[in-house]
Structure 1
Amino acid sequence: MSEREVGAARPVLSKSWVIGAGMVAAGIVVMVVALLAAGGSPQPLPAGLLGAGMPLSWSVPVLRFVADAAAVVTGGAVVAVVLFLPATDGKLGATALRACQDAALAAGVWAVASIGGLVTSAAVILGIPLSHLAEHASPASELNQVRALAVAVVLTAFLAVVLSGCRTLRGARIAAVLTAAALTGPLLTGHGALDRTSAWSLLATSSLVVHVFAATAWIGGLGGVLRYARSRQAVELFSALALVCAVTMGITGLLTAEIHLGGRQEGWALITQWVTSGYGALVFAKAVAFAILVTVGWWHRRATLPELSTGNPAAFRRLAAVELLIMAATVGLAIALSRTP
């Protein structure tokens, strides 16, 4: 690589790190505020009772955010390789190989954060300090949430290995399947999976899985386009993907929230659940964020795509960076929602 190419690459790299740091900060701040406001934050135990402790309890949602953010980065890089970056005779080009290495690093972070989430979640659920967890390894292994996180750890670690050696389009497609599988496991132990015999529970869980897939493709795909493939063709392809993801997220998000808030309730009882509960307030906040993202997407199609076709990508980069920050805040809301009664 020449000195000119290195000099050109450095600003892009530094901007990516700045956007990434801003996304993490925005997401965690919004998540903490939402948990405190909606009643999903960890609560201190009465004096004299032994528990996991407040720092450990707060580390669970923070590690969950880090894992989710890493999953989005992984998924976005894989989406970019499979959909937006050209391959010659099935072999990946230089940019696609760089995307695979970025995805491998992100998958490694995902695995480490998942390990941390597994350990801290077990301690918090059992109500014991982290130093006593080894003494309760057997009961911890029986917890469905811990088992799901353990499976996710194995899958993400294997995914990191696959991506680090990925050189072909076929390997990238295998990585996409592994990413979907790693995303699915922890979702099977949330609100919607509390009663596996209920048709409403199965519907809520299925809807949540599709919702998360769409969110990962939308957020990660935008990051992938911004970092690896800012051509007019790639952006237009992503725009079509984003439209499908937005419609899917809107339908599944509304369906999941309605099931959790009301299920088969009707009339005033359902309206009361939406208006008065902390969960309902977070659903409303997430709906507002979703509406803002749809508006930004519409503005992309109306204003920045024509400018991109004239060879001026600056407007697209600026609006995409703002959109990614809003998306990170929405992920923070989603994690708070998953932890709010």
Structure 2
Amino acid sequence: MPLSWSVPAFRLLADGAAIWVASGVLTAGLLLPTSDVVRACQDAAIAAAIWAVASVGGLIASAAVILGIPLSHLAEHASIAGELTQVRALAISVVLTAVLAVVLSGVRTIRGARIALALTALALIPPLLTGHGAIERTTIWSVTATTSLVIHVFAATAWIGGLAGVLRYARTRAAVERFSTLALTCAIAIGITGLLTAEIHLGGRADGWALITQWVTTGYGALVFAKTVAFAALVYVGWRHRQSTLPSLATGNPAAFRRLAIGELLLMAATVGLAVALSRTP
């Protein structure tokens, strides 16, 4: 695999692990009784360790790609690599995720799970500050784009992780109903921040025709369109959950919810892949 491809590969692994962590801590902190917290947090601790390893890999690969050198020569340029914003951000993520893994291994209470949930949110932030929104950070557009991106990622992680957690740990009607309310909030946040971020990066200060042209003719615009279609499909599936699977759970039949949730998670996984591709486009 070319070195340049290892960067999005490590990013995808890190994102998947972060969602896995979120599935455990969010479910343990908000949806589970105390007696079930330990299992979810132990699973999340394993995921946090994987997240830390993926962040280390991403740090090394990113440094080599940015400097344009093979991995075998990276040690010779360690001081230069340490000055790179992306490398520093990933180094912070490594520290935070390693701490998170240790904390989660000892969590036994709902309060502990909620502390771990806050630490998970904190660990998500550093890499987001070095992407598209980090350019020209003194401008109001840059600050808006970065803030929007952080909220977008928080909401997406909570939505996907929460669904995975409910499916694995808490497939009861009460838990699903609580998650359904959270999912609706996340969907609204994702829709608003996604459109705002895309408009800024596609030329929100340009005239209408130029903006439409960029949506249609650029690689970034094409990926945004594909992600928008996937998001619309997820909203439809969420509506189906409210209309059909919640009543099925009330009758003691979880099969319909399980089938629809698995399909929704597969669609979410594809959306995460699109998001990683989006983060790598000019």
Residue 252 (str. 1) matches residue 190 (str. 2): no
SS at match of 1:197: coil
Which SS does the other structure have where 2:249 is aligned? helix
Residue 201 (structure 1) aligns with: 142
In the superposition, the TM-score normalised over structure 2's length comes to 0.99
* CA–CA distance in structure 2, aligned partners of residues 120 and 222 of structure 1: 31
Taking only aligned residues, the RMSD between alpha carbons, in angstroms, comes to 0.7
C-alpha separation in 2, matches of 1:235 and 1:266: 44
User: How many angstroms apart in 2 are the aligned matches of 1:98 and 1:61?
Assistant: 31
Does the residue aligned with 2:69 lie in a helix, a strand or coil?
coil
Determine if the alignment matches structure 1 residue 304 to structure 2 residue 251.
no
Counterpart residue number, 1:280: 221
1:324 to 261, 265, 269: 265
2:171 to 227, 230, 242: 230
The correspondence of residues 78-227 of structure 1 with structure 2, limited to 5 A, is: 78-87=25-34, 93=35, 95-227=36-168
Number of aligned residue pairs: 282
Structure 1 residue 263: Cα displacement: 2.7
Give the secondary-structure state (helix, strand or coil) at the position aligned to 1:85.
coil
More RCO (CA 8 Å, sep 6+) = 1
Matched, 1:60 2:10: no
Q: Distance in 2 between matches of 1:321 and 1:270?
A: 36
Corresponding residue number in structure 1 for 2:254: 313
Instruction: Give the Cα–Cα distance (whole angstroms) in 1 for the partners of residues 197 and 25 of structure 2.
Output: 27
Letter matched to residue 142 of structure 1: E
**Would you say the 8 A contact 1:77–1:102 is kept in 2?**
yes
- The aligned residue for residue 206 of structure 2 is 265
Structure-2 residue corresponding to 1:292:
233
Output one character per residue of 1:285-312: Cα deviation in whole Å (capped at 9) or x when no partner. 0000000000000011111111111001
Give 1:275 deviation, angstroms: 1.0
Q: Cα distance, 1:171 vs. partner? A: 1.4
Alpha-carbon distance in structure 2 between the residues aligned to 1:73 and 1:65: 12
Work out the CA distance in 2 between the residues paired with 1:313 and 1:173.
Answer: 27
Alignment partners' CA distance in 2, 1:329 and 1:248: 19
Do the aligned partners of 1:78 and 1:103 also contact (CA within 8 Å) in 2? yes
Judge conservation of contact 2:41–2:107 (CA < 8 Å) in 1: yes
Q: Distance in 1 between matches of 2:272 and 2:165?
A: 17
User: Is the Cα contact below 8 Å between 1:200 and 1:263 reproduced in 2?
Assistant: no
State the AA in 2 paired with 1:211. Answer: H
Q: CA deviation at 1:170?
A: 1.9
TM-score by length of 1: 0.82
CA distance in structure 1 between the aligned counterparts of 2:160 and 2:208, rounded to whole angstroms: 35
CA contact (8 A) 2:37 2:110 kept: no
What one-letter code is carried by the residue in structure 1 that aligns with 2:30? Answer: L
Q: Partner letter of residue 277 of structure 1?
A: T
**Alpha-carbon separation, structure 1, partners of 2:122 and 2:151:** 12
Question: Displacement of 1:199 after TM fit?
Answer: 0.7
Retained in 1: the 8 A contact 2:23–2:163?
yes
Partners of 2:112 and 2:250 lie apart in 1 by 32
1:118-150 superposed Cα distances (whole Å, 9 cap, x missing partner):
000000000000000000001100000000000
Listed one character per residue, the Cα deviations across residues 46-86 of structure 1 (whole Å, up to 9, x for unaligned) are xxxxxxxx621111101100000000010111010011001
Please list every run of at least 4 consecutive aligned residues from structure 1 whose deviation after the TM superposition is greater than 3 angstroms. none
Matched residues in 2 for 1:263 and 1:126: separation?
32
> Structure 2: which 5+ runs fail to align?
none
Q: C-alpha separation between the residues in 2 aligned to 1:327 and 1:211?
A: 14
2:60 & 2:208 partners in 1: Cα distance? 43
**Counterpart position of 1:239:** 180
Any unmatched runs of 5+ in structure 1? 1-53, 88-92
Rounded Cα–Cα distance in structure 2 between residues aligned with 1:58 and 1:156: 23
- Structure 1 distance, partners of 2:182, 2:138, is 34
1:49 equivalent in structure 2 = none
Which residues in structure 2 correspond to 1:7-46 (within 5 Å)? none
